[in-house]
Structure 1
Amino acid sequence: MHAPFPSVSISMNPNATDFVPHLTGANSLAPLPTSTADLAEEKERQQKQESHLSSSVKWTTTSTRKNITQPALPLAVKANFTPTFAPIYVEKTEEEILEISKRSSLKVGAAAFVPRRTLNRVMIAKPSPLSLTPATGEMTLGDLWCLFYLPAGLGECIRENTYDPTLVFRVDSVATFWKVFNNIPQPTEMKIGTLYFFRDGINPKWEDPGNRDGGILKMKLDSHCINDAWVYLLCRTIGESWSRSVRDTVNGVALKARERAYLLEVWVTEQSAELMMDISELLRPLLGDVFSVFYAPHSVTQERAAAAALAEKKRSRNNRRRW
């Protein structure tokens, strides 16, 4: 025996312009679309409804989902049907949500990246883009200065093909200088190695055209005064507070940390009595009236390097003959 057909109540509207079936039965059919545009709109609406329902499930915990009874959606979709989305349940108070938002807010107060306090090659980081922006105002330095580092293990008598200091940072303002200086070790905390602070465009090599006809003013210091002497020398150099005749002759300064002593160097284009007087005035408060300073021209350094290379070449040649 066949199941009886469901009863359908029909009402007439004399003012209607379109035919809209009145669906009240449980097994009634949905109205047919009148065009392909209606099909596309219906598909888009269903996708939005499914995506919203799936996202609401992620916000609902397992314990909460057990106690929630979702309202059953009608089987028949009416023409003027507006879908009802499931509510989103968040088990946190407003105070807890506000506290989370405060902890997760973006921190924009840092002016630049501060590298770790080390000079190992593997730890030297790229400078922050903020630090590469040209400085403006009264804090701008007269020249751009570059910080180089030469690690230990190369010795004093080094060849031209192995001598390659690493450029660590460029400094164009007083603020940038102190950022860099405060994040490198003090001389007494350094491992064996060399720091160079030179004008931009001049490499810390005697082969550089800016250094070729000049020399190095050298001072040997102990650990009890090297930290202050290094700061004094750097500030005198970047501040261009040398005597007027000396100011343009200073290409850079260097700090050499060795096992038994420390060396401070001033690289100049020419030797002068005014330079000796400036060094004496700078270091007398730290070292007293007695300290030694000697000048070594780059030509002498070049001759010594050539003689050392020739002697090593002869030794290697003699060793090959023995074998």
Structure 2
Amino acid sequence: MTDSQEIKTVLDDATDYSAVHALHSQWTLWFDNPLKRTNTSTWTANLKEIVTVGTVEEFWGVFNNVAIAFDIPNGSNYHLFRKGIRPMWEDPANTNGGKWGYQFQRSIGEKVNEHWLHTLLACIGETFESSPDVCGAVFSNRKNCFRIAIWTRNASDEEACLNIGRHLKSVLGVNHQLDFLPHSEDSKNPLYVV
């Protein structure tokens, strides 16, 4: 669109409008099915880049036309990460980071889709106080639970990590403890708790 073209909104013309609303960052949706992976190289081959969005309209176009989180195959994951960051620990943006995660019992059913949507909106809307430290979000469909996680850039920045964890807890609307696990350690012991 050039500067000389008039930007129309749905308020001007309900059938012919051109306004788009840019996101602060572009975000890429990825999909993988870990049940098919046997080693790192096959996992990487199963990780599929679906689409990158840069506007609110593109986000809704994708969200409304991919399988809802509840319906992805058992063992599969959705990843929404900032453009240029791959959803793997080895990516330089993730290497020194970690993740906040929460597990929902399967009995929550399709309500988990709302929690995933709210997490995505918090990411693309940059509503985290420490948004630049948010690398992406992951939804995992597992046999016994659903998991939602936020991956961060810097596990050693306690203030940023705690801000992100508190906000995720609010976004998910849960009162239970959330744990932060750094990517660099193969540990079940959380570094931070909110």
TM-score bracket for this pair, using the shorter chain length: 0.7 to 0.9
Contact 2:34 2:43 (8 Å CA) reproduced: no
Supply the distance in 1 between the matched residues of 2:61 and 2:127 (Cα, whole angstroms). 21
Residue 294, structure 1, aligned to residue 179, structure 2:
yes
Supply the distance in 1 between the matched residues of 2:78 and 2:169 (Cα, whole angstroms). 22
Cα distance, 1:137 vs structure 2: 5.4
Give 1:241's aligned amino acid.
T
Deviation readout 1:37-61 (Å, 9 max, x if unpaired): xxxxxxxxxxxxxxxxxxxxxxxxx
TM-score, structure 2 normalization: 0.75
Contact 2:94 2:153 (8 Å CA) reproduced: yes
Percent of pairs identical after alignment? 24
Q: 1:255 aligns with which of 125, 130, 139?
A: 139
Q: Using a 3 Å threshold, how does the CA distance of structure 1 residues 247 and 238 change in structure 2: closer, same or farther? A: same
Contact 1:220 1:292 (8 Å CA) reproduced: no
Question: Which structure shows the bigger proportion of residues in strand conformation?
Answer: 2
The corresponding residue for 2:14 is: none
Deviation readout 1:296-320 (Å, 9 max, x if unpaired): 111114x89xxxxxxxxxxxxxxxx
SS at match of 2:128: coil
Residue 140, structure 1, aligned to residue 25, structure 2:
no
Supply the distance in 1 between the matched residues of 2:22 and 2:71 (Cα, whole angstroms). 29
Contact 2:169 2:178 (8 Å CA) reproduced: no
Aligned residues: 160
1:23-62 equivalence runs, <5 A = none
Cα distance, 1:241 vs structure 2: 1.1
The corresponding residue for 1:162 is: 42
Unaligned runs of 5+ in 1: 1-135, 305-323
Supply the distance in 1 between the matched residues of 2:143 and 2:116 (Cα, whole angstroms). 17
Supply the distance in 1 between the matched residues of 2:20 and 2:57 (Cα, whole angstroms). 11
The corresponding residue for 2:162 is: 273
The corresponding residue for 2:9 is: none
1:1-323 equivalence runs, <5 A = 139-154=21-36, 159-164=39-44, 165-192=47-74, 193-223=76-106, 224=108, 225-243=111-129, 246-271=130-155, 272-284=161-173, 287=174, 289=175, 291-301=176-186
SS at match of 2:42: coil
SS at match of 2:70: helix
Provide runs of 4+ in structure 1 moved above 6 Å: none
Cα distance, 1:251 vs structure 2: 0.5
Supply the distance in 2 between the matched residues of 1:228 and 1:146 (Cα, whole angstroms). 20
Supply the distance in 1 between the matched residues of 2:165 and 2:50 (Cα, whole angstroms). 30
